[in-house]
Amino acid sequence: MNEHSNFETDAVRAQQERTLYREHSVPLYLTSSFVFEDAEQARALFADEVSGNIYTRFSNPNTNELINKLCLLEGTEDGIATASGMAAMYISMASLLKSGDHVLASRSVFGSTHQILTVIFPKFGISHTYADIADARESWEQKIQPNTRMIFVETPSNPALDIIDLEWLGALARKKGIILNVDNCFATPYLQNPSKWGAHLVTHSATKFIDGQGRVIGGAVLGTKELIKEVRFFARHTGPSMSPFNAWILSKSLETLAVRMDRHCENALGLAKHLEAHPDVLLVKYPFLPSHPQHALAKKQMKRGGGVVTFEIKGGIDKGRTFLNSLKMISHSANLGDTRTIATHPASTTHSKLSDAERLAVGITPGLIRISVGLEDIEDILQDVDQAIAGSR
């Protein structure tokens, strides 16, 4: 791998060594298994005495390249690629928790993560407590129990765009001897590096901005060698492996992550400012707007504000639905992080499994709209948003 210090150069140039065919772009390794040079090598590989590929469920040159690149960009020691973002979220916790353990989590988490904590883990005797962003720091510390094994947070959160102070949280985790696990999906390694602030694990849904074009599904768990060793053992024997094809796509996508995120952020800030000044808009939330409650914190730990904006039109859910139905260019989808701008209604889609009270507790009002701002010309985005708002009057 390269030893550059610049993100853009590392993202473009870090790749697997060339084969004897002297290819410029890394080839696809569409194979289920790998042959051994001799019986001794086979024994040594299975005994973990030497490194190498055995079976694509364990590792593959394409997934190896993706993880090596992500570790370089995130500043972590090791990692593992998974079949989806939720596979990454699940194994980053399940591999390290046992019956009787407790998780302290930020209340504002993705809907499926909420289901893991509230429905799936209780079946295995793993409990959790939620803490709110607005809670005093003393309250977070008081919620740590003797059996608390992990702190899990999203920042920025989906979809409320809450920001958590990673430096403070890293210090708290060190003080208590607890694993800090940060979902860095919205920020990507380009905008934020949680390991810099003390995170032991960094999780990603690579389906979103890392792919960036709505093509493939994938995830990643990155972190310390010690913890990833346990995560890898769990994944090896439970099978949430990423396909080589998806890994190849995602590795190539990383080459353009910086330039894409710069445009996403530029367009998102432009849309946020436009909406904030719109007379028919009740509220707007975007980390790099001065009106965001954690604006100063966002500027401290993020390079830019990200590609997601949330807002609510005056009139609530009925007006929001009319807005979505009035869009002409912007896609109405549950995905995000695409080159194309996407509008989502979290209360009825991504976070529909939460109760009304649970949604309100994390800032998801009935009429909240999430916009994943794409790479189109900003004037076209604004025009479509304006005409859809006008149609909802």
The per-residue pLDDT for range 258-308, each reduced to its tens digit, is 999 999 999 999 999 999 999 999 999 999 999 999 999 999 999 999 999
The pLDDT of residue 1 is 44
The pLDDT of residue 3 is 54
The pLDDT of residue 4 is 53
C-alpha closest to that of 93 among 82, 103, 85: 103
The pLDDT of residue 289 is 98
Contact 238, 82 (CB under 8 A): no
Helix (H) or strand (E) holding 137: helix 137-142
pLDDT per position as a tens digit, 143-167:
999 999 999 999 999 888 999 999 9
Cβ count within 10 A of residue 134? 11
Sign of CA dihedral 23, 29, 30, 35: positive
Average pLDDT over the chain, rounded to whole?
Answer: 94
> Domains (ranges, CATH) in the chain?
7-254 (3.40.640.10), 257-391 (3.90.1150.10)
More confident residue, 361 or 38: 38
pTM: 0.94
- What integer is the mean pLDDT of 371-383? 98
The pLDDT of residue 294 is 95
